């Protein structure tokens, strides 16, 4: 998995340390929702059944380099 230096740094924080690589990869390959930000980065959301929460993964413009990943408490699944 390709990732930015920022991601490597931020991932050490306690709230991010629980996020597994497999959850990130699952969200990237099979997102519930995806959108492109104005800066070209790509947001993808996935539901992590194991913990019952939504994960947001932010990718760089190349669509494969992880810049950020966090549990998104504000995500609302579209019906």
The answer to the question of residue 76 being in a domain is no
pLDDT confidence of residue 74? 87
pLDDT at position 42 over 70: yes
Q: C-alpha 71: how far from its chain's center?
A: 8
The answer to the question of residue 78 being in a domain is no
pLDDT confidence of residue 79? 57
| Band of pLDDT at residue 15, cut at 50, 70 and 90 | confident
Q: Which domain holds residue 24?
A: 5-71
Number of domains in the chain: 1
For range 24-38, the mean pLDDT: 97
d(CA 26, CA 28): 5
pLDDT confidence of residue 76? 79
For range 55-60, the mean pLDDT: 98
């Amino acid at each position: 998995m390709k990732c930015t230096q920022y991601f490597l740094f931020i991932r050490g924080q306690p709230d991010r340390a629980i996020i597994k690589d497999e959850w990130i990869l699952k969200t990237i390959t099979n997102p519930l929702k995806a959108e492109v930000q104005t800066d070209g980065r790509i947001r993808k959301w996935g539901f992590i059944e194991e913990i019952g929460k939504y994960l947001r993964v932010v990718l760089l413009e190349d669509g494969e380099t992880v810049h950020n990943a966090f549990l998104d408490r504000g995500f609302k699944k579209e019906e």
